[in-house]
Amino acid sequence: MGGSFEPPLRVQRCVEPGEGKVWALIIDLRSDTVTRPTSVMRQAMAVAEVGDDVYGEDPTVRQLEQRAADLAGKEAGLFVPSGTMGNLVAAMTHLHPGDELFAEAEAHILYYEQGGCARLAGAMPHPIRGQAGRFSGADLRREVRPADLHFPRPGLVAIENTHNRSGGEVWTEAETNDVLTAAHELGLATHLDGARLFNAATALGVSAAQLASGFDSVSICLSKGLGAPVGSVLCGSRDFIGRARRNRKVVGGGMRQAGVLAAAGLAALSDGVAGLADDHRHAAQLAEGLAALPGLQVAAVRERTNMVMVDVDAPAGLWVAQLKAADVLVNAVSPHRLRLVTHLDVSGPDVEKTLTVFAKLAEEATRWS
Ligand code: TLP
């Protein structure tokens, strides 16, 4: 490496091989998980002080856990390799096998985690059909059944802010408080999947701690919009985190010299939040430009964060392939819906190029079927 910590360039495709190669930049809008660590992160990783974290001896991990907990307004934190593990460990720690876990029907914890809460935490998933990823205290009260020999014990309600499958919709404090009040009356524990909590905080102009206030636990992803390569921090009371630490170990999440990863996480927490407003602006530009094209319907959101859901007449898979051929990567999230996610590796010119590519394909798409 010759002492240089310059990160590799963004993913590129060679369009003219041989002498004087020509490269095309790939615009990757599949997720905000695709970012590459910045040179500041790489530098921090290279010089991180480390120890064996299973023995509690990694000072950089300790520092990250405390910093994340402070930002979330909780007593303690636990570094986990992924958001999926953060949610799983939270479910394992809050619930006994057979207890019910209430969450919005398309919440990540129910939709995208292979049923891990059921398989590995023994939870009985209880989906609540929400609107734009949100539900109310009254919805929760309607779903929770009284104590009865026949029913599972109601145990935990989880909220996702921002809500992924609804296109990054935000829950306000008033909306979460309504559910939290009902949960407390019903004796349920509460978990916040805050994979993109800083996006919500940025959109609403409040702190992450305000949005996490009243929850027993919150999981924050470092590897989404904040730009770290790996990791999430599960935060809660000291007692909760102590118990969660045991559960992290049983699912194989006890890491050793994890300070090299935590160092990138610390850099993400210091530097990553400021860029989220740009991501939201870029997503809004994409939404506006795409809405003007024929054959595309941009799903409306109350508050734009870093996602755009676009409904297309032709099969979404066909759109994905055609866009890929033009060096624009997006995900299909249902048969006729595309998801575009902005992040720190998406620039203003990338947004413009994406819109140009979409405009060309929108015209061609009328002939695809
Ligand atoms: N979401 C990923 C995919 O898994 C769908 C993405 O590309 O958006 N909670 C929420 C709200 C998430 O969106 C995700 C990841 C997770 C948890 C899990 O995080 P990881 O991928 O770190 O396990």
For the chain, which domains are there?
12-37+275-365 (3.90.1150.10), 39-272 (3.40.640.10)
CA 70 – ligand 1 centroid, Å: 23
Closest Cα to atom 7 of ligand 1: 31
pLDDT of residue 4 exceeding 60: no
Is there a contact between 357 and 321 (Cβ–Cβ < 8 Å)?
no
Going by C-alpha positions, the residue among 202, 204, 203, 198 that lies closest to residue 218 is 198
Q: How far apart are CA 12 and CA 28, in angstroms?
A: 10
**Residues pairing with 125 in the sheet:** 101
Instruction: Kindly give, in sequence order, each residue whose CB lies less than 8 Å from that of residue 63, ignoring residues fewer than 6 positions away.
Output: 262, 266
Type of residue numbered 4? S
Does 369 have pLDDT greater than 70? no
Residue 335 belongs to what H/E stretch?
A: none
Whether residue 93 contacts residue 253, with contact meaning beta carbons closer than 8 Å, is answered with no
Predicted confidence at residue 257, as pLDDT, reads: 98
Q: How confident is the model at residue 325 (pLDDT cuts 50, 70, 90)?
A: very high
Return the higher-pLDDT residue of 1 and 290. 290
* The pLDDT of residue 274 is above 50: yes
235: nearest Cα among 191, 196, 170? 191
Confidence of residue 8 (pLDDT cuts 50, 70, 90): low
Q: What are the tens digits of pLDDT across the range 205-261?
A: 999 999 999 999 999 999 999 999 999 999 999 999 999 999 999 999 999 999 999
Q: Higher model confidence: residue 347 or residue 24?
A: 347
Mutation test of ligand 1: which of 89, 221, 226, 331 has the most ligand atoms closer than 8 Å to its C-beta?
221
Q: Is the CB of 306 under 6 A from ligand 1?
A: no
Given 3-state DSSP classes, what are the helix, strand and coil percentages for the chain, each rounded to the nearest 5? Answer: 40, 20, 40
